[in-house]
Structure 1
Amino acid sequence: MNNGKPANIYDLAHYKWLLPHIRLLIPAEWISIWTGMEYKNNQLLLSSGGPTTIATEVWYPGYPKSDASWTNVGVDVNKDPESASQGMFNEKPSGPRYGVICEI
């Protein structure tokens, strides 16, 4: 819709700006959604394929995983902004998620 594409999360400031906006839209206590980013060879990549770095504090506890098949990147968002159960993660492309965040 509106020619959007799966979104990138560009840096810590963008991540911190994005989460409150997602919280307003989630129908339950949390949501897990895909981004347009990938994780390959232990490196976070933008949807353009270019490398990026992001603060380690945005990763879900225990992530990123180094398994080569876990290439897709998503974000879990909890309604409670203080919850430790949220952040970016990488997973197999077949992992079930509830949507995708897009950018235009």
Structure 2
Amino acid sequence: MPGKWDVVYSKAVNICKKRNADVGLIRDEESYNAIVNHLRRTMRRDWAWVGIWIRIHIDSRTGDVIPANSFTKWYSDGFPVRDKDRTNIYTVVNKKPNERYQGMVNAPPTWERDGVLCEILI
């Protein structure tokens, strides 16, 4: 069972702004693994997985990730999906580390997810 899906991308931006932060960008595999491990440790016991918005977008025409130097680890074969509406990316973290279906998914910004990764630049 996932969490409570009620965060569209615009709400994610506002959540971070209220914390004087921006939607978080995953820059490398080390950061990705740290975030995934943190989410697994803090996920509610009754949740099987969680989906959180991140600040990576995709050009639906070319399939290029924006910013270009962003780290990506796609959910499974077939991602990213080429669809004009699937411009934003969220990451799915399963409570089970070896679960095959987890990683990044491109989706419309109107999809509701569990939350958002915020980052404060210092």
TM-score by length of 1: 0.84
Matches within 5 A, 1:16-95: 16-27=33-44, 28-40=47-59, 41-46=62-67, 51-54=68-71, 58-61=73-76, 62-95=78-111
1:15-49 Cα distance to aligned partner (Å, 9 max, x none): 12221011122221100111111111311113xxx
Relative distance call for 1:80 and 1:98 in structure 2 (3 A) is same
State percent identity of aligned pairs.
32
Q: Does 1:3 align with 2:24?
A: no
Task: Give the aligned CA root-mean-square deviation in angstroms.
Answer: 1.5
| Cα separation, 1, equivalents of 2:21 and 2:115 | 14
The alignment covers a number of residue pairs equal to 98
| Cα separation, 2, equivalents of 1:11 and 1:43 | 17
Q: Name the structure where strand makes up a greater proportion of residues.
A: 1
Q: Name the structure where helix makes up a greater proportion of residues.
A: 2
8 Å contact 2:58–2:65 — kept in the other structure? yes
Structure 2 unaligned spans of 5+: 1-17
Structure 1 unaligned spans of 5+: none
Residue aligning to 2:118: 102
Which of structures 1 and 2 has the bigger CA Rg? 2
Runs of 4+ in 1 over 4 A off after TM superposition: none
TM-score by length of 2: 0.73
8 Å contact 2:56–2:70 — kept in the other structure? no
